[in-house]
A and B are shown apart, each in its own frame.
Chain A
Amino acid sequence: MMMRLSLAFSALCLALAPVPSALAHHSFAAEFDGNKPIRIQGALSRLEWTNPHSWFYVDVKDDAGNVVTWGCEGASPVALSRQGFQKGAAKLGDKLVVDGYAAKDGSHLMNARRIYLNGKLIFEQTGEGQ
């Protein structure tokens, strides 16, 4: 259980990690807006271990109680596997707070820069990034 949780921390956050645009198959700035900082909070609801990017989805309740699902783009499975992480390590239902930058087109997609898991800061990307 402990091991599973440890790996969950790692794999979840690796997958949520923003990827330097040079390594991604698209430019960060072509999709996300550096002038649209955003915070979402909710439960981890889905993981897609796919190319060209992995995706984590977070179910977010608005003030009216409606659930909106936000997608967070991560590295490719190859990039994650190079670090020795395996799919299925992340635990669905974990409470997340994610700070980052929203998609330019207004869709519910974001690039994560800071991640809290069950209230604890587990990742923060410093610097200007992309």
Chain B
Amino acid sequence: MVENQRVLGRFSMRFYTTIAVALLVFAFSPARVAAQGLTAPDVKSSKPAPRTADGHPDLSGYWRGLRDTTPVGNIAKDLPGHKLPFTPAGEAAWKHNVTATIDPESLCIPGGIPRHNASALPFEVLQGSNKVAFLYWYTYFRVIPIDAKRKHSEDPDPSFFGEELGRWDGDALVIDSIGFKDKQVWIDENANPHSDALHVVERWTRPDYDHIHVDTLIEDPKFYTRSFNYARTWVLGKPGDELHEYACSENNVDRDHLQFGPGPIRPDGTRGFEKLAPLPPPLPEKK
């Protein structure tokens, strides 16, 4: 930074302004998301996945979503028409979510699983021999025991990530989760619901050095008539990429102004207005 200032200091005011505006354009362009290292274009990889001393694939790394993954934040991404197989209770729960609940994550409540797997934000995996940790933005995390002999509890305490058990199935790390909360939870960013009967089975693989992939089976007989799948691939971050502190409650100005639901959902399954009203006319350009 000091060196940058020294170099920039040699130029004229006009050039400074040019640099600033150029940076702004860059910063605000659609490419800005990628520029921040949050998502990334896909890459070809010829390197095999690394392995730990015990021979398993090492899933450790800082993982960024592929830029082409769409619609992000929609758990129905892989279903025809992005249509979820709601039961009547599930349909009612969805209506309740969009008309009477504020996005729990925007209130600094953990998104849980499978929502975090549908997020646009990067995450980090730290893998040990008998535990694996997933670290997320907002300073959330989950630590999963890897033990094929361990069984689910008879009556697990409900939680946002559920009671998670890990085991290896060949080169796939399988995480089987039950025991979820049924209040202040959205299964994704589009306000789709899940109940306390949610059962999630994630199969994590590292097909090569530069990619991590999950195939997810989602069952929730209270809210969905059948199980469905959610699959996604992420690309390895750059050297030095790491998570930072992100204290969600520090200055959450939005919490008192957010409305119920996620806002409009477009036909392509993404969130947002289809068309924005035009802004006021631009001001005359000042020389």
Report if A and B associate in a common complex.
yes
Interfacial residues, chain A to chain B (CB-CB below 8 A): 2-3, 5-7, 9-10, 13-14, 17, 20-23, 25-31, 34-39, 48, 50-53, 55, 71, 73, 76, 78-79, 81-84, 86, 97, 99-101, 103-105, 107, 109, 113-114, 116, 119-125, 127-130
Within 8 A of A (CB), among B3-23: 4-5, 8-9, 12-13, 16-17, 19-21, 23
Residues A25 and B9 in contact, CB atoms below 8 Å apart: no
Q: Give the shortest distance, in Å, between A45 (CB) and chain B (any CB).
A: 15
A13-B24, A27-B263, A128-B273 known; A114 vs B282 contact (CB < 8 Å): yes
Question: Residues of B contacting A23 with CB < 8 Å?
Answer: 33, 36, 38, 120-121
A28 pairs with B277, CB closer than 8 A:
no
A-B contacts, 25 listed (Cβ < 8 Å)? A3-B5, A5-B16, A22-B33, A23-B38, A25-B106, A26-B254, A27-B262, A29-B264, A29-B273, A30-B258, A31-B257, A31-B258, A31-B259, A34-B277, A35-B277, A37-B277, A37-B279, A52-B108, A76-B246, A83-B23, A84-B1, A105-B259, A121-B282, A128-B276, A130-B273
Q: Does B196 contact A (CB under 8 A)?
A: no
| From B5, B32, B246, B276, contact of A51 by CB (8 A) | B246
Distance, CA A52 to CA B24, complexed state (A)? 21
Interface class of chain A by DSSP:
mixed
**B47 within 8 A of partner (CB):** no
Separation of A29 and B271 alpha carbons in the complex (Å): 7
Cα of A105 to Cα of B73 in the assembled complex, Å: 25
- Of chain A, the residue at the smallest CB distance from B284 is A119
Distance, CA A51 to CA B253, complexed state (A): 10
Pair A52/B257 contact, Cβ less than 8 Å: no
Residues from chain B with Cβ under 8 Å of A22 in the complex: 33, 72-73, 119-120, 189
Contacts A30-B258, A34-B276, A128-B276 aside, 9 further interface pairs with beta carbons under 8 A come to: A6-B17, A37-B277, A50-B251, A52-B246, A52-B247, A104-B257, A122-B21, A124-B28, A130-B272
Q: In the complex the two chains form, is B253's CB within 8 Å of A71's CB? A: yes
Q: Answer yes or no: B261 CB below 8 A from chain A CBs.
A: yes
CB B127 to nearest CB in A, in angstroms, measures: 24
Cα–Cα distance between A51 and B252 once the two chains are bound (Å): 7
- A127 CA / B274 CA spacing, docked (Å): 11
Give complex CA distance A100, B276 in Å: 10
